[in-house]
A and B are shown apart, each in its own frame.
Chain A
Amino acid sequence: MSKPNPTDRLYSKDHEWILDRGDGTASVGITDYAQEMLTDIVFVELPPIGKKVAAGEPLAVVESVKSVSDVYSPVGGEVIAVNQTLENTPELVNQDAFGEGWIAQLKVVDPEELKTLLDAAAYDALIQEEKH
């Protein structure tokens, strides 16, 4: 069973979470449901600092033993930090997807884009739908 989706953040339909830090920046990761689907994450390709992405564009890549999956940016922004510990311990994404397994921090271009995302309740409903 995946961990509950924290209510302090927003979610994309592609199973990323974004946590607004209130200072024009936000952290991004994949959800616990997503890591559970992938299992055994063995590699995370982090974006370079300064990379600019639009909403829905590939931000990072997570690989399990069997699969390669893009992580899409939930909003447009510029990468200002990445979680370098994932280079040597990618399994942190499995162990703590909502915390230590964060992937990147963005400077958000347009905070209005956050309004297009799902809250925890709506995301819960989405994954219930996917399970059936």
Chain B
Amino acid sequence: MKKTPLYDRHAALNAKIIDFGGWAMPVQYTSVIEEHRATRANAALFDICHMGEIEVKGPQALDLLQFALTRDLAGQKTGQVKLSALLNDRGGIIDDLTVYKMDRDFYMLVTNATTREPDFQRIRSLLEEKKFDASLADVSDSTGKLDLQGPRSEAILQTLTPDDLKNLRFYWFIPSQVAGIPAIISRSGYTGEDGFEIYAAGEEIGAIWDSLMDAGTGLGMKPAGLGARDTLRLESGMMLNGQDITQETCPLEVPYAWLVDWSKDFAGKPALAAIRERGVRKKLAGFEMTGRGIARHGYPVTKDGREIGSVTSGTFSPTLNKAIGLAFVNSEDTAPDTEISIGIRDTVSPAKIVPLPFYKRQK
């Protein structure tokens, strides 16, 4: 398994390590619920070095991304982050990724850990096909990434950076310093809380981790693993690539229709337009259990005794104290309050469709 630069720190903290897409990652340090609650109440620090970073440079960098990705990036300002989707020729989602405009003619794409290679291949083949004047570089191996998430993130990070974080708005970033080390600070994340994603050279990410651990401990910050990351994102109604979304899923079937700009040409558009024309048969919807049990990935969903789909993500929600999940079900059965049932082992337990997100922070 591949290890991030922080692996020895996780081991020293007695983290439970799992294989996540070929990476040895901490799933929890002490307890998923404790780490989850620390994120909602105070702050938590996550090792996200396994995610991918691809640099796109050149006079036609924007043209390449406009063609490769579904969202219109023409109005994106330097310092702004945009979520977008990369599709295959069938209109299926290869990745949901974020686009950082570093400068004119210079972008950084932040990809999911498991889609880094497919993303690179896809964008390179589109570049070659259309002969854009741009270059691609996979800088994942030399780039470290930490997520600092939770209401006290700003107070913690502010002690280590010269820039005034009050001025940094959500989904914007600045080239800055953390503990004297050059770093990109982005106000964004995957937990539904305020927080930051921090990028720095891989060999320096350990020093940033140590400084943040020192700065945060007195404010109730904890290191948190992928277990809490998963429950936090699910409560906030965010999808997990490879689980809720696969290459067979199109943006119209999940809450990603807003990422598609129909006024421009993009790879996968003809297939997606055909899907739009005939309408989607299945959609991703949120549900909560009204009966006993916890729904898990792959469990069947029924309505009035007939199968209408299956669970893509399910967990016990530490904030709401109930079992919640996402399911891919027949489009006509996705209205809130629709009564459904989940097959859990040899029993069937009632649930109902609810609007997303399950949890929204007080601003």
Q: Spell out A's residues near B (CB within 8 Å).
A: 39-40, 42-43, 45, 61, 63-66, 68, 87
| Interface set of B (CB-CB < 8 Å, partner A) | 27-28, 30-33, 36, 227, 230-231, 292-294, 296, 315-316, 318, 323, 345
Q: A65-B315, A65-B316 are in contact. Are A43 and B227 (CB under 8 A)?
A: no
A129 vs B227: C-alpha distance when bound (angstroms): 26
B-side contacts of A39, CB under 8 Å: 28, 30-32
Beyond A40-B33, A42-B316, A65-B315, 12 additional contacts (C-beta under 8 Å) are A39-B28, A39-B30, A39-B32, A40-B31, A43-B294, A43-B316, A43-B323, A45-B292, A45-B345, A65-B316, A66-B230, A68-B294
Please name the residue on chain B nearest to A40 by beta carbon. Answer: B33
| Chain A interface mostly | strand
Asked if B293 and A66 make an inter-chain contact with CB atoms under 8 angstroms apart, the answer reads no
* A-chain residues with CB within 8 Å of residue B28 when the two chains form the complex: 39, 66
In-complex Cβ contact of B33 among A63, A65, A87 (8 A): A65
Q: Is there contact, CB below 8 Å, between B227 and A65?
A: yes
Q: Given A63-B316, A65-B227, A66-B230, is A45 in contact with B31 using a C-beta cutoff of 8 Å?
A: no
Q: Roughly how many angstroms separate A42 CA and B292 CA in the complex, as a whole number?
A: 11
B345 — which chain A residues lie within 8 A by C-beta? 45, 61
Distance between Cα atoms of A105 and B32 in the complex (Å): 30
Chain B neighbourhood of A63, CB < 8 A: 294, 316
Query: Across the interface, do A65 and B32 meet the contact criterion of CB distance under 8 Å?
Result: yes
Contacts of B315 in A (CB 8 A): 65-66
Q: Measured between C-beta atoms, what is the minimum distance from B195 to chain A in Å?
A: 21
Which residues of A lie under 8 Å from residue B230 when comparing CB positions?
Answer: 66
